[in-house]
Structure 1
Amino acid sequence: MSTRSYIAGVGMTRFEKPESRDWQYWDMAREAGSQALADAGVSYQDVRQVPVGYCFQSSAAGQRAVYGLGLTGVPVYNVNNNCATGATALMMARQFVEGGLSDCVLALGFEKMRKGALGGGADGGDFALSPVARHYGVMAAAHGFEKSPPTAQLFGNAAREHMERHGTTEAQLAAVAAKNHRHSARNPRAQFQDVYTTDEILDARTVHRPLTKLQCSPTSDGAAAVVVVSERFAAERGLRERAVEIAGQAMTTDTADSFASGSCIDVVGRPMSRAAARQAYDASGLGIEDVDVIELHDCFSINELLTYEALGMCADGESGELVESGATTYGGRWVVNPSGGLISKGHPLGATGLAQVAELVWQLRGEAGERQVTGARVGLAHNIGLGGAAVVTLLRKD
């Protein structure tokens, strides 16, 4: 018998350039986890299950990460779903609560990364062994395989296809990054707080044409945490006033649609995102027209445009015009990535999805400071990982 689930507390470290701070993953996990527990007004002794997300640490790192919060013996689950890891941990927490298994669950995500671009995820550089080998194969058949970072190739080629099909311009791609860098200037937890013009973004070093460095998310260190509770627990503890409801959530993985067209646009996940959005809308009774603020997975600028289309914010091919119109920033129809997004806030893989939700909770509570979206009541988080998984979460504040 299901029950409604609420986010009672959130926490997040500052996202930082790898090796810029002398800390270990358990230090950042303790910082974010402690913040979330304090924000919820509960102790670790109240927590009954802990899904912990990360991609680059050793097996059972989740246990070591939470031992700094308490040694209570509760189940700890180690979660790895590529870049969608954080949202996957949140989904597990929600399912534990809505399924009636636990009244208070802590979802935690962290990453301690190395400097430089991400590799292809294959042992010894053998891409045939990579979990995304099929994705690379589709790309190579259409575009070849070059020496630039492989993930940047996937998304860069998706951008080229979008430009060829729809007339999307390099300036429109750069406008995504300019917007998100501008937003991050108001976020003290963001890895970067520098503001760039569209021309400066276009003039930056090319990573894989047409994407420049300032249109690509960086490697990052950091952690985020979310406390999910049942409606009963929130009422008994007096948490309901500040709690934010998880109104709907869905995860999808690749289907034949990801590969059948031979297009990098589909390979990088637009069909997954579209399906997850549709399911989350159905589960919540909400639609994109109800949403005020969005945190979406802008790992590269093109992915923000593709996600506009997948979420139903515009028709396919119209996303470049949408960002150029100002509809996705302050004063527009939606505010997308007020945190600065992955491009400027940073992207520690295991923490990203939970950090998106933390930002939305602050927005819906009216606690986002200079970033506050006026009157925000409904938020949407979109977290995607190649391989693949797409998670869309709708949050609502009464």
Structure 2
Amino acid sequence: MVAGVGMIPFCKPGASASYAVMGAQAARLALADARAGYESMQQAFVGYVHGDSTAGQRVLYDLGFTGIAIFNTRNGGASGSSALYLARQAIESGEADIALALGFEQVSHDVDITPAIRIVGTTGLEHMKRFGTPLATFANIRAKASRHAANNPLAVSRNIVTAEEVLADVPLWPGVVTRSMICPPACGAAAAVLCSEDYAKKHDLDARVWIAGQTMTSDTDPGDSAGYGTSRAAARKVYEQAGIGAEDVDVVELHDSLAHNELLGYESLGLCAEGEGRKLVDAGDNTYGGRYVVNPSGGLLARGHAFGATGLAQCFELVQQLRGHADKRQVAGARIALQHNVGIGGAAVVTMYRN
């Protein structure tokens, strides 16, 4: 059960409070949402990329010295989802009845995203050559992200941009990537409280949303650095665990570090067949009124990518959607949600939520 979630607004590098302050704020919000005190947490799992070796303890000691096991995990951009995965695993195994998953990130202005542009851009270029996908398709994805983020008060960027403006932006890789097609590095924090079904019943916690399937995969092909194969393998396992397929999903939060990654995600997650991502975009099947609503939060492209917090920010959005609490972003009748988070290098975490 996902008993509680919390998230603070993401902000630009250099404009945030310390990671200790941000992390504690998000944890308190999740605990308050779950109507549970920190003293009731039996284990905690903390994801981040930039921070001290025991940064999780530094953050959570502000909530109390309770002696629980606190695990720190660094898994690139999938660090937050890795913390979520470990918390779910602890509960499923019986090691804990209730646990906290927390992710945070505090970065400076000099974060180097060149490697990600090269890796994902190369995969996007291959898709363009193989399937004839035009650069305008990626521009449309970025424009869609801006429209979604305009309704998200927690997003870094809430300015609506058009596909034409995206195409006209500074070329970082001529013909392949413009500046607007990459996600903005961000600072922020998000958290979730997970518990067993029995614990939720005993303590009268919110049991409306639960994890129906979740898996983490790593690379099997050294040439698949962008995570397409790992994501596909993880999605297949989750669909098998949950007993439902991509066609049943209502709302998706997927890892769009570049606009190219979002299109690749459509295909690797089975939202469409390989090579048909362009058709999905052209048909409007990635937004409100279409087959799926993808990244209603604005995704990494507009909400921002606070590396360690991103996976739990995705969880926050999807739990709000399934509770019917997403305000102007609400996907009507949402019952099944899919989360996809990638750490280049590599890890892919895919999670299915139901209500």
TM-score, normalisation: structure 1 = 0.87
Match of 2:215 in 1: 250
User: 1:293 is matched with which residue?
Assistant: 251
In the alignment, does 2:58 pair up with 1:92? no
Q: 1:219 aligns with which of 179, 185, 205?
A: 185
Tell me the residue number matched to 2:287.
329
What residue is the counterpart of 1:134 in the other structure? none
Q: Do residues 231 (structure 1) and 226 (structure 2) align?
A: no
Count of residues in Structure 1 that have an aligned counterpart in Structure 2 = 354
The question of whether the paired residues in 1 share the 8 Å contact of 2:146 and 2:161 is answered with: yes
Aligned residue number for residue 123 of structure 2:
158
Q: 1:177-233: CA deviations, max 9, x gaps? A: 000111000000000000001000011112223111111011110000000000011
> In the alignment, what sits opposite 2:96?
102
1:55 corresponding residue in structure 2: 49
Matched-pair contact (CA < 8 Å) for 2:225–2:346: no
In the other structure, the counterpart of 1:396 is 354
Alpha-carbon distance in 2 for matches of 1:70, 1:236 = 24
Q: Determine whether 1:361 maps to 2:319.
A: yes
Kept after mapping to 2: 8 A contact 1:172/1:321? no
- 1:175-214 equivalence runs, <5 A: 175-209=140-174, 210-214=176-180
String of CA shifts for 1:12-46, please: whole Å, max 9, x gaps.
0100001123x110100111000000000000011
The residue type equivalent to 2:197 in the other structure is E
Alpha-carbon distance between aligned partners in 1 of 2:126 and 2:104, rounded to the nearest angstrom: 34
User: Is the CA contact 1:116–1:219 (under 8 Å) kept in the aligned structure 2?
Assistant: no
* Greater displacement, 50-59 / 206-215: 206-215
Pairwise CA distance, 1:240: 4.2
Q: What runs of 5+ residues in structure 2 fail to find an aligned partner?
A: none
Which TM-score applies when normalising by structure 2?
A: 0.98
Structure 2 match to 1:74: 68
- Counterpart contact for 1:251–1:392, Cα < 8 Å: yes
1:387 aligned to 2:345? yes
Determine whether 1:15 maps to 2:29. no
SS at match of 1:349: coil
Q: What one-letter code is carried by the residue in structure 2 that aligns with 1:108?
A: L
The one-letter amino acid of 1:316's match is: E
Partner of 2:300: 342
Percent identity of equivalent pairs = 49
The separation in 2 between residues aligned to 1:374 and 1:322, in whole angstroms, is 20
Deviation at 1:118, TM superposition (A): 2.2
- In structure 1, the gaps of 5 or more residues are 1-5, 120-148, 260-265
Distance 2:282 2:60 in 1: 44
Give the structure 2 partner of residue 377 of structure 1.
335
RMSD: 1.0
Residues of 2 paired with 1:386 and 1:214: CA distance? Answer: 20
CA–CA separation in structure 1 for the residues paired with 2:5 and 2:173:
36
Q: Distance in 1 between matches of 2:173 and 2:238?
A: 33
User: CA contact under 8 A between 1:193 and 1:344: conserved in structure 2?
Assistant: yes
Query: Partner amino acid for 1:317?
Result: G
Mapping 1:105-124, distance limit 5 Å: 105-118=99-112
d(CA) in 2 for partners of 1:89 and 1:388?
15
2-structure distance, mates of 1:175, 1:325: 11
